[in-house]
A and B are shown apart, each in its own frame.
Chain A
């Protein structure tokens, strides 16, 4: 089920929240949790029911194994942890990476192993990290005893089950038994609604409208020139941010309907003036997990410079591969790892860069690295990069925007896009639009401030109505509905 669908917004969310508070009002909290678990499984199964057993099996194995940590002798706890980690990582590798591994083994050793045709369970990457954190903390003895209902609800809670945030158990589990979360709150409802409208706006108005141009540039265009190259790469940089942060806003908003607060995942990452700051503000919960459960256990910065650099690089390689089974993701992780290492080395020189060039450098590094993240093939990435440096292509025939709009208005979007691919007047305009959106992202605040302190004003009502109306128009009249990009990871 998509957040940006009628099924979710008109039926699923209001009905689930309504029934939950009805049960809470009658002090039937256990039933309330069961309702949320069933709703979450329904939400997940509506999207892909065939992988539901995998999700359930993983939750069951993890919960009951973790309860054993207190029961077994201390010397047996480590093997249990190792077994659990192997189980979780094995599940992830089997479903997500086996095809990739087999195809690489075939090319490397000239073997002919058949490619497994597996249906990858949605959200398995998120679930794996979330459960690994729980297992490790159980092993460390810092997890209190949690009921099966609480753990299951924490693991499969519908707003975050498919694409995060990768909530830490310490953030969610205590809320589940907190009496204040059992009573209906107008404040949470209004904040949740407003966050939903912000998420919808980001997704439906911005990300989905950038998507055709980005898809055309990456997947269909034979070649790109300077303007279309930059417009394509910037387009994706913006699309990804608006799509994923829009999803997160909707997840946070949906959870607030049920009085639960999910952790923040974004804090204006494109305003960052260095790569470290970028990772402290982009997909915050992933960065936090990798820091706490990979970088620090590897030794962090405690074993000298070289080990620190090695640990950083390894952490980012894992980060890259976590996003997908492919060498381009590996390269993307490697680039970020190198950037972090360079940044750390630079910091030790004591030289400080002015904010503006620092931002420019960081933003453009991130923008260029996203090309490898988005491209399906090496050739696509190189095509976009070649276009971006093709300065000679500037100044072709002149502006033909009129032609573009004539096609566009007459429902010939395909022709319009084809024109844009070849006509630089249109491309220059598209690039200008991308730059304007970038400027907006840099100047404007983010939605996080509403989470803690939302004071309703009439302008918020207007924004809410406009955002939902646009969604209705797109869904009903334009038949536009797309999945969130991060579903694939």
Chain B
């Protein structure tokens, strides 16, 4: 039942073609269209620092290899894929440097406390805490599905899994969020 076409997809391709033909203004339109979604995905995935740099790096990588974008997926899905790889690279590097404490499910309360303090009882914050309590994979899939509205096929492409696995992760995540909120 999922509609696989997004209204902006055709325009994205058109803008890519314009950029490829030498119209530099098309780049501004593409960045303006997708930058916020990339930033939200980064924050939802646990990134707290240098989000703008991450988004910028994503676009730099994407425009540097735009000729390899075949249009099989939407541009936004492709951008999410690039951003996710950058986030993984960044986390690996930070882990090596022991400068970053990886956010594991068990750290959710700590992260929540640090972020939101005394607002723990507010419903919105409880929902956020429920999402934060998910495993990294579940949170990633759930965020892409619930917050970004990607299809299972697109999510599978972003996180490098199958469509069926993405569906299972989503439903497990939804169940976990419900259980968290019912407790």
The judgment on whether A and B are partners is no
Chain B residues with a Cβ under 8 A of chain A: none
Chain A residues with a Cβ under 8 A of chain B: none
